[in-house]
Structure 1
Amino acid sequence: MTSVEPPEHVRATFGLREVTPVALGNWEGGWRFGDVVLSPVADHARAAWSANVRESLSVDGLRLARPVRATDGRYVVSGWRADTYLEGAAEPRHDEVVSVSVRLHQATAQLERPRFLAQAPVVPWVDVDVFVAADRATWDAVPLRSLRAGGAQLSTSPDGRRSLELIGQLATLRKPVRTPSQLVHGDLFGTVLFAGARTPGLSDITPYWRPAPWAAAVIVVDALAWGGADDGLLERWADLPEWPQMLLRAIIFRLIVHTLHPRSTPHAFPGLARTADMVRLVL
């Protein structure tokens, strides 16, 4: 899905007045202007934070899109951000994506927690709030307590009700984890860009404050549920700290997103249910 083209004043502010735009399919509604991509911004604070981090972050074996500042120094102009273009597309190279996660989170371990990650979402939610709320609910001492306290509308569809039942069952299997939380990218599946034998690329960072192995577990859950990954993917990364509990929280997180997100479809549930069964077996 592509967005509307960036308006003329946004192009001019980023110095892209004379370049013909090309719509991109893998940059969240982005448009390529030569070596620069303009992308619509869903959340200004998160976009500015990501740009600031990517401006100087160095990760072994990873190409990072660097922010392109506007002529007045801003990262975001009228709901658009600019980044250097990275060649590549998402591919089902799942183990390589997990490897990217491990290297990336070694580099982000020293980053401070952004203030916006400590703030609870307020109804009515925008898209990003669904994921923030699902993340909080996953780690609640009482399952889904923060959602119900915040007035969230939980799905009443058949697959939504089945998801809630499954969440309740899985939550009883949680045990305390000791791995410290840090800044992680919680949405790497489908966002790492591959171009043949070139170093993988990454166009953005979606921040969460959770243990690094949890972010790897989300990749594995997504790949098993929807990406056609082989079942061995789950076992191949078993040496990551507290792996069974990280997988458990990753599948609970995705099930909660499924019950909350307005664009969830029944077709997404069978893969999640099957992955939940696989996770139970390693606990």
Structure 2
Amino acid sequence: MKINYGVKIAPPTIEIARAFGSNVEPVPLKGGQNTSYIAGDIVLKPAGGKSGTEWRAQVFSSLPESREVRFHRPIKSIHSDWMYEGYVAWNFLKGEHVKGQYDKKLKASRAFHELLKGVPQPEGLKTPKGMWSIGNWVALGQKEFDYDQEFMDLYNQIKPHLKPLPEDRQLVHGDMFQNFLLDENLPPALIDFSGVWAPNGFAEGIMLADAIVWGNATPEELEVFKQVSNIEQMAWRGALTRIAEQAESIKWFGKEKDEAVQEARNYQRVFDYLNKNF
């Protein structure tokens, strides 16, 4: 589960909202990790790098509509650009963060990833460029797991379970657990896209691991994940992703080692579940 370690920028002004077609003063969006703002029917977020922002906007502006899943659509500014004064705008999606209901969430995930199948690998995902992408590369066997002994002790429990992965890769959402919005009258919405180039099912593997650690999901709630092809392997690698991220957080963000180790050790619960249920 991601924590916002990003660089802080000034909150968006009414002028920025107007540039994207809203006359409503932006206010912090609940659950937006202190970086998202709502202004009427649009959501404003820090843009990040220009190339990545434009790629993301082009992808999500071109995806077809689905009756099974909702996702944000980007909004161009009055200057016909996707970015303005360091911000991007997306349409607001109705819904609430709801615990559990993994059957609905997995159905939406399948539909979402089916839409993404034709998207080619972007340049930005061809090399690891930060803590989270390095974690993914380690989990997918593209980078060696080489960290302090406390992390190696966890890795050594995972290593015997690692098997060759399918060669086919596609764009997937690498941080789904807390990024579903549910509404009783609408399909589930999947937000805050975190792109990973990975085998299909990797996203659900990470989600399963996070559901155990952060959602305290019961084995009964997790039964539905067994419908996902190769889910055991993907869940081992999902746990490995999170452990590598914690090891990397020490270097990237100056996180205290003891804290990083403790958060990584939380994923022992995933090991226990997988060993007992597969």
Equivalent of 1:275 in 253, 270, 277: 270
Q: Could you tell me which residue of structure 1 aligns to residue 126 of structure 2?
A: 118
Give the counterpart letter for 1:98 in structure 2: L
- Aligned residue number for residue 48 of structure 1: 54
For 1:69 and 1:279, how far apart are their aligned partners in 2? 45
In 2, Cα distance between equivalents of 1:142 and 1:7 = 42
- 1:142-181 matches, within 5 Å, as 143-144=144-145, 154=147, 161-178=149-166, 180-181=168-169
Distance 1:208 1:35 in 2: 28
After superposition, where does 1:74-223 map in structure 2 within 5 Å? 74-95=81-102, 96-121=104-129, 129-140=130-141, 143-144=144-145, 154=147, 161-178=149-166, 180-223=168-211
1:176-224 CA deviation, whole Å, 9 max, x = no partner? 1226211111111111112334321233321111112111111111011
The letter for the 2-side match of 1:132 is S
3-state SS in 2 of match to 1:81: strand
Percent identity between matched residues is 23
**Cα shift at 1:109:** 0.9
Given that 2:17 and 2:26 are in contact with CA atoms closer than 8 Å, whether structure 1 keeps it comes out as no
Name stretches of at least 5 consecutive residues in structure 1 with no aligned partner: 122-128, 149-153
> Shift in Å at residue 105 of structure 1?
0.8
The one-letter code of the counterpart of 2:68 is G
Moved more, 246-255 or 236-245: 236-245
Stretches of structure 2 that go unaligned for 5 or more consecutive residues are none
Matched letter for residue 86 of structure 1:
L
Task: Tell me which of 20, 24, 30 is aligned to 2:29.
Answer: 24
Structure 2 partner of 1:249: 237
Q: CA RMSD for the aligned pairs?
A: 2.5
Q: Partners of 1:94 and 1:221 in 2: how far apart?
A: 15
The aligned counterpart of 1:126 is none
After superposing the two structures, state which structure 1 stretch, 182-191 or 34-43, moved more. Answer: 34-43
Q: CA deviation at 1:282?
A: 4.6
Q: Distance in 1 between matches of 2:261 and 2:142?
A: 28
Deviation at 1:170, TM superposition (A): 0.9
**How many angstroms apart in 2 are the aligned matches of 1:273 and 1:172?**
15
Aligned-pair distance for 1:117?
0.4
TM-score normalised according to structure 1 size: 0.82
Aligned counterparts of 1:232 and 1:83: Cα–Cα separation in 2: 36
Q: What letter corresponds to residue 132 of structure 2 in structure 1?
A: F
Q: Is contact 2:68-2:107 (8 Å) kept?
A: no
**TM-score scaled by structure 2?**
0.84
* Most deviating of 230-239 and 179-188: 230-239
Q: What SS class does the counterpart of residue 199 from structure 1 fall into?
A: strand
Work out whether residues 41 and 79 of structure 1, in 8 Å CA contact, stay in contact via their aligned partners in 2: yes
In structure 2, what is the Cα distance between the partners aligned to 1:82 and 1:54? 12
Distance apart, 1:274 and its partner CA: 1.1
Deviates more, 1:226-235 or 1:110-119: 226-235
SS at match of 2:31: coil
Deviations 1:109-147 (CA, angstroms, capped at 9, x unpaired): 1111111100232xxxxxxx1011111111226742xxx
